[in-house]
Structure 1
Amino acid sequence: MEKSSLASQPMPAPHTTPTPRPSRLPGRFARLPELAGPGFLPLGLFARLPLAMLTVGTLTLVTAVSHSYAIGGMAAGAVGIGSAIGAPVLGTLADRAGQRTVLLVAAVINTLAVAGLLGAAYLTPAYASPMDALAVLVTAFLAGASCPQVGPMARVRWMALTTRNLSAPVTGHRSVAANRADLDTALSYEGTADEITFVLGPALVGLLASLVAPWLPLALAAIMTITLVPAFAVHPSHQAVLPHPRKPGSGVVSSERQNRGRRATAVVAVPVLAMVCMGTFFGATQNGLSAFGAEFATAEVAGLLYAVMGLSSAVAALSVAFWPQRFGLPARWVAAALAMSALSVLLLLPAGMWSMVVVLLVLGIPVGPVMVTVFSIGGLVAPHGRMATVMTALASGIVAGTALGAYLGGQLAQDQGPGGAFLVSMAAALGLLVLGLVTWLVLRRKSAA
């Protein structure tokens, strides 16, 4: 296996390292501000909120002004496709040119794209055909493709900071195991931050659109992008991640190097496919809950039900920081995915709203640990100089999988009710288990070799 790009990076000069300051956070999480420097945690949390608002905000705005659910859905789909394609491109550019430059440029382009989407939406006539809404679809795609990938970039920084600690001589009371625990803690926090923003984002969109105007959520997202993302981009923690520009003449490679590259790509493809399964689980579950909610109240209650699962998932993601080091990453993946596969069967049982709430609370417990573990595995198998590319590819897998799950779940829910959509959720969870077993076998073979 090729080593992570960050593991082979030289340690940054001392004056570039964020100055540690005392933290009031409890336990292991108190180490995070010391590692990344002041202000990083709130910046990393709120700067990713526009991404969580963009898809639902586009769906809400375009549907409201065009009076067409079809065009609204197409615009939201264009955002998802743009994000799935654009995120790895931004990650590759960040690997080559550095995070700061890429994030600053992406913040400006995305703000302009969202402004263009707002204008195009209000210029589209009501009850228009999809061809009349072409400008909306194009600007929605551009908004998704240019959206700054703050979450994946933050994970890359954490990996750089903790890897630097692992490669440095152990001094004082810090041990190698404690430094490795820092990475578990950081990625646990990141998983919780993702869960919080992807629950808070749609809720904020619904609140602002219903109480004020449908354009306000996207306008607020643009303002947050142009202010918070640049602040995140220039935060001193970005100096821990060294860019890897393409060297002259690197276009000519030996057959041995090509074979190594293909093997590395195949290994990376496993966690990416796992994130596609995770997104499929999310999308199908959302559609299943919409159909389930429509049987008892309204389809809109699905957002509240889904937030229940997000709550327990976020708490469980935080708990990974306290899992023993001897419980390795592949074993964690398999154990959590096995629990997720078994518990997803419970989605077929509830006959009322409160029983579904209980099921979702229990089902969310293995979801967060699976996400945290897959991101950790992605960092472990990332080829040299490709950490941001891999992290953004994992995030794109979730986006693409969510679209796939929403489509498949919607088709089955239309014909078979919520149970049909939940069957897709169960299949996605089983796929996560299979891929976890594959990863376990591959890594065991690598370590044995």
Structure 2
Amino acid sequence: MTRATTSQQLAEPSLLSLAGLPYFLIAFIARLPFAMMVVGVLTVVVSARGSLSLGGLTSAAVGLGTACFGPLLGAAADRFGQRTVLLALALANGAMLLLFTFVVYGTAPDGFVLLAAVGIGATAPQVAPLSRSRLVTIISDRMPEGRRAKTVSGTMAYESAADETVFVFGPFLVGILASAIAPWAPLVGAAVLTVVFVGAFALHPSGRHVSQDRDADGKAPSTVSELFRPQLLIVVVGILGVGIFFGTMLTSLTSFMADRGASEQAGLLYGVMGVGSAILALGVAWLPAAFSMRARWLVFSGILLAGTLLLGFVDTPGTMMVALAIMGIGIGPTLVTQYSFGAARSPRGRSATVMTMLGSGVVVGQSIGAAFAGEIAESVGTPAALLLPMVAAFIAFAAGVANWMLSGEKRRAAPVKP
């Protein structure tokens, strides 16, 4: 290697230097309210209204609001810029969290509680997908082309690991606040975090970074129909399967431990999968380029499916822990790969829309899976509920098979833009 080549590599900026360390700290904390909402809503409804069934429906209503409005908010961010949209959402979502707390403790009918929950989901700031979109835009605009693919892969790995960490720590924080103060405290805390840190995320200098994929007038050159290409829709289906897995696994695990008189330990066992998943997700960035993305989806979703098949044989917390550890090997890298495909296949100027579609797929799947698994566990029993994560993992694996056929040889390298 020549001295000139070495100097050139040293001069090339890293993503950390381009975005700045404060960006990553702010973006991490700004995700916490989103991770606290579903569990916080469930906690306060069960406490205030005394109904586990209503609590499950209310949590699903939050997911419904996200499903209906998340992609629209992403499209608005593509059209008007992230800063304007996020500032409005920070204030609106903080207000909705406080309004929901007021409604649930009041005398309003259950229908108003569900409506307020939809409002929480509808105004939820999509920090994680918008962060992915923002970073991918910086990479594609300000980094050398030869480094983009690897940097995008590493970025998706970090972002997925951050999501995993937040979605493990978020419910833990809800439990601490609810136990130490009151059941309403997690939602008030989430409201404060939303206004402060989502506002800071919106105002960060990277928020005004405009992709060169846009036309001079700021409009996205691609049409909406580009979002419905089979190559992109199959990624949405696959990530929906992952979301359903998260919801069904946590709920059926809670039922499994409740049958053994230790429901409070479900979170600890779930953490075995979460920690392993986060570590393996970070490791995706170091996988060789010869291990193509479409192959990674098949291999790691196959490991996830194999781990879920063991659920038919678990009979002790120890054997459950083994199954969860195997699932953790598969789930993190699968999620990273799906987000990487989403980044690679985003139509020009539509990256925020695509990332919010994928983020909404995880949340919607999680909400639907949790509600359905809870109903099955209560009415049929834990063994039946434990079948549902298998179904979810099969959806993710089948989508990987379809993606293999849709990808073709030319997509092995997975460039930043198709």
The normalised TM-score by structure 2 is: 0.89
Instruction: Give the counterpart letter for 1:52 in structure 2.
Output: A
User: In the superposition, relative to structure 1, how do residues 161 and 370 fare at CA in structure 2: closer, same or farther (>3 Å)?
Assistant: same
Q: Helix, strand or coil for the counterpart of 1:103?
A: helix
Partners of 2:122 and 2:100 in 1: CA distance? 13
1:403 offset after TM fit, Å? 2.5
The 5 Å alignment of 1:50-61 reads 50-61=33-44
Match of 2:139 in 1: 162
Note if 1:356 corresponds to 2:339.
Answer: no
User: In the superposition, relative to structure 1, how do residues 204 and 263 fare at CA in structure 2: closer, same or farther (>3 Å)?
Assistant: closer
1:384 offset after TM fit, Å? 1.8
1:301 offset after TM fit, Å? 2.5
Partners of 1:47 and 1:71 in 2: CA distance? 28
Q: Helix, strand or coil for the counterpart of 2:315?
A: coil
Note if 1:403 corresponds to 2:367.
Answer: yes
CA contact (8 A) 2:79 2:219 kept: no
Note if 1:195 corresponds to 2:195.
Answer: no
CA contact (8 A) 2:65 2:119 kept: yes
Match of 2:383 in 1: 419
Match of 2:119 in 1: 142
Match of 1:319 in 2: 283
Instruction: Give the counterpart letter for 1:277 in structure 2.
Output: G
Note if 1:98 corresponds to 2:81.
Answer: yes
Partners of 1:347 and 1:195 in 2: CA distance? 22
Instruction: Give the counterpart letter for 1:146 in structure 2.
Output: T
Q: Helix, strand or coil for the counterpart of 1:313?
A: helix
Kindly provide the CA deviation profile for residues 191-218 of structure 1, in whole angstroms up to 9, marking residues without a partner as x: 1110011111111111110121111111
Instruction: Give the counterpart letter for 1:424 in structure 2.
Output: L
User: In the superposition, relative to structure 1, how do residues 293 and 236 fare at CA in structure 2: closer, same or farther (>3 Å)?
Assistant: same
Note if 1:118 corresponds to 2:95.
Answer: no
Partners of 1:447 and 1:78 in 2: CA distance? 38
User: In the superposition, relative to structure 1, how do residues 55 and 423 fare at CA in structure 2: closer, same or farther (>3 Å)?
Assistant: same
Partners of 1:298 and 1:195 in 2: CA distance? 24
Q: Helix, strand or coil for the counterpart of 1:297?
A: coil
Number of equivalences: 401
Note if 1:67 corresponds to 2:50.
Answer: yes
1:99 offset after TM fit, Å? 0.6
- RMSD of aligned alpha carbons: 2.7
Match of 1:234 in 2: 203
User: In the superposition, relative to structure 1, how do residues 218 and 142 fare at CA in structure 2: closer, same or farther (>3 Å)?
Assistant: same
Structure 1 ranges of 4+ moved more than 6 A: 245-250
The 5 Å alignment of 1:2-401 reads 31-124=14-107, 132-166=109-143, 168=144, 176=146, 178-242=147-211, 244=214, 261=225, 264-401=228-365
Identity of aligned residues (%): 38
Partners of 2:198 and 2:226 in 1: CA distance? 34
1:432 offset after TM fit, Å? 1.2
User: In the superposition, relative to structure 1, how do residues 137 and 246 fare at CA in structure 2: closer, same or farther (>3 Å)?
Assistant: farther
Partners of 1:145 and 1:161 in 2: CA distance? 28
Partners of 1:241 and 1:361 in 2: CA distance? 41
Partners of 2:56 and 2:274 in 1: CA distance? 23
Q: Helix, strand or coil for the counterpart of 1:48?
A: helix
CA contact (8 A) 2:56 2:371 kept: no
